[in-house]
Structure 1
């Protein structure tokens, strides 16, 4: 049978929207909006791919041309999303072929990093992706959160706040490896959603923090009957944090529950009067290093010692060469596959723990020490409104 992978054409969009509604259970109209650049500023029709068999679309995948932070700088990242095959044509390798082709095109276009949220980790591991982040999800009663007089400086967001909120977000995002940069058009789309509310903390003329949240409808048969979901909390000063946390803390505990998410490195529970709250660690994004040399060149290695990396990569043999990272005398050699390199690159797992489990192979203790210097543990994190 004749198989072809190509970019989407205008006449495909209705078919594509129906295919994704079948695959993911959302309505067709939502997917029409997803592929409309006027409504979704992150989508580029040139990076929406379909697999066609005998003239009919069987599967699709999208690469969002994103930017994410590495060493405090925004760099290109391919965000893989909306990967699906028509239910009648699954288990034929169609989605896999689209993912491989998308990765090849990213590499050819000079994109060294790719991220995604998986439906199944095992599926994407076969293409060189690996888990590279976690979040802490909190579910708690409003009364578990601290209140503060600083709440007097909290108010509802208005249009003039947008530029300053963007600045606060960029400050916070640049501190986290792989955090996605958010452009103005996406901000406007986010704040324009009917269900999204925003509050800001303002001290004098300075905007020092903000919160994006949603509140669910009243459901008498559920417990809690309403939920506030704090989607994003960004603060520059302790006063801003105290004031913004007072917002969910002031809700009626007989009606509301609160859900919040935080980076692994910024837990909430140690700072509460009682730490006995529900806190669940959840897997987040997967990372694929598409071009090892290109990705390593984005780093600013610390120290004066270099290291040779021998990388295994079944999909891209071009990555399977000796890569020297760092400056100065080569202190040793580490052998590892591209998936483990992704976890080290993200700062998600410590090199010593991977070595202890036999997942990377340093030739000497000195080589392991240098690897820890070059790729230290960090706090990879992507704000929830930027999940794709």
Structure 2
């Protein structure tokens, strides 16, 4: 079994496999544009003689880790023809993809899973949860009037204020995708999307809704409020649709305070895991994360089955990191037995802020003394993961 990168001449083979596996059809006139977009992808494939049997796409992105920006390799388009399933082809593709991610300095990877347990085996872990709120018309109760105003935009009148507000909310979270104008227009907006921006009385944009209204339903795809004034102003704008809609749905980050601030917060709420993330280069990620309690030393003993370059012990503290890798000739040869034992899934959940060290310790995912666990809890800054996009 050999994994190799597809050439441009083979892009149609990749597209045909995607259409079969994901059950959609690309019109003949749209194929050139699809093939052009693939030039930004690294597509890995396995062949059966002259036929593409399985493939995987790696897409280069950048994500925000609060104020910092990290290079990320997005995994997408993982597909196999049914006659080649359960042959180990996807495992081979993922294993090879991890090497490509590392070689391309994409220190973390994100994907949207068809099955969480499948990708957990390979080291990806839940990045975030989405909260879906469903409100009936009776719930559309105005709150106190705000001094600002709403201006509406669309894909055709896209305004840079949206991009600036989005980046501001990104710096409060981990994992969110860095968007340029092209991404906004091609991947954020749908044909029916509208945007409502809340401006303060000083004409400062402080929040926006990305939404659609049709068939007497208002569907909010992104609700971004930089302060409470904007949050209330946007909610009141939603309420202005009370004569037009029967239901309103909002897709939110799980930690969003909505609907707490409503006069009647008892509404239908669904919380569902969304994207997954993986640390590809543990050393680089640990160096980049701004740990607290720098004068305190702690050992992390890390296990990573599918990215063995991460296996080893990491001593954190005093503003530096020492690495113990007996088998690969690291900086030191004999790590101590004390410290915290964890796998790459747990490290990923901690570094992105999806789970705290003590939570994972209580569930049995981290091993070590309670004293070491309490220190690790103090060292890891409090962060909130979020992800709005899809690829």
Bin for the TM-score computed over the shorter chain: 0.7 to 0.9
**Aligned-pair CA distance for 1:372:** 0.8
Q: Are the aligned partners of 1:13 and 1:32 in contact in 2 as well (CA < 8 Å)? A: no
Give the aligned partner of residue 324 of structure 2: none
Report the counterpart of residue 9 of structure 1 in structure 2. 7
CA distance in 1, matches of 2:196, 2:35: 29
Please state if 1:188 is matched with 2:193. Answer: no
1:156-183 CA distance string (max 9 Å, x none): 1166762221111101011111111111
**Residue in structure 2 matched with residue 382 of structure 1 by the alignment:** 387
2:175 aligned residue: 178
Name the structure 2 match of 1:154. Answer: 150
Give the Cα separation in 1 of the matches to 2:245 and 2:254.
29
Tell me what 1:244 maps to: 234
Paired residue for 1:24?
22
Counterparts in 2 of 1:228 and 1:160: CA distance versus 1, 3 Å: closer
Find the partner of 2:279 among 283, 286, 289: 289
Residue of structure 2 in register with 1:110 after alignment = 105
Of the structure 1 ranges 341-350 and 22-31, higher mean CA displacement relative to structure 2 is found in 22-31
2:363 matched residue in structure 1: 357
- Contact 1:310/1:333 (<8 A) preserved: yes
Deviation at 1:82?
1.2
For residue 310 of structure 2, the aligned residue among 314, 319, 339 is: 319
- Give the distance between the partners of 1:215 and 1:151, measured in 2 at CA: 25
Q: 2:91 aligned with 1:85, yes or no?
A: no
Q: Report the equivalent of 2:206.
A: 208
Query: How many angstroms does 1:286 deviate by?
Result: 1.3
| 1:269 aligned counterpart, secondary structure | coil
**What 5-or-longer segments of structure 2 have no aligned partner?**
322-335
Q: What's the TM-score once normalised by structure 2's chain length?
A: 0.87
The CA distance in 2 between the partners of 1:258 and 1:168, in whole Å, is 23
The answer to whether 1:141 aligns with 2:136 is: yes
**Which residue is 1:310 aligned to?**
301
- Give the whole-Å Cα distance in 1 for the aligned partners of 2:48 and 2:97: 18
Structure 2 counterpart of 1:367: 372
Deviation per CA, 1:343-372: give whole Å up to 9, x if none: 11111112112112221112x332112211
Query: What corresponds to 1:223 in structure 2?
Result: none
- 8 A contact 2:41–2:59 mirrored in 1: no
Q: Is the 8 A contact 2:199 2:207 kept in 1?
A: yes
Structure 2 contact 76–111 (Cα < 8 Å) conserved: yes
Q: Distance in 2 between matches of 1:176 and 1:34?
A: 33
In the alignment, the residues of structure 2 paired with residue 143 and residue 13 of structure 1 have an alpha-carbon distance, to the nearest angstrom, of 51
SS in 2 for 1:20: helix
Moved over 6 A (4+): 328-331
Aligned residues: 371
Cα distance 1:214–1:88, how it changes in 2: closer, same or farther (>3 A)? farther
Distance 2:105 2:320 in 1: 29
TM norm structure 1 = 0.88
Q: Structure 1 CA distance, aligned partners of 2:297 and 2:22?
A: 46
Structure 1 residue 78 displacement after superposition: 0.9
Tell me what 1:221 maps to: none
Separation (CA, whole Å) in 1 of partners of 2:142 and 2:374? 44
| SS of residue paired to 2:250 | strand
Q: Give 3-state SS (helix, strand or coil) of 1:297's partner.
A: helix
Give the gaps of 5 or more residues in structure 1: 219-225
- CA distance in structure 2 between the partners assigned to 1:67 and 1:277 by the alignment: 35
Distance 1:248 1:55 in 2: 55
Cα deviation, residue 34, structure 1: 7.6
The answer on whether the counterparts of 1:143 and 1:253 sit within 8 Å (CA) in structure 2 is: no
When structure 1 is superposed on structure 2, of 167-176 and 229-238 the one drifting more is: 229-238
Which residue number corresponds to residue 301 of structure 1? Answer: 291
**Compared CA separation, residues 328 and 248, structure 1 to 2 (3 A):** closer
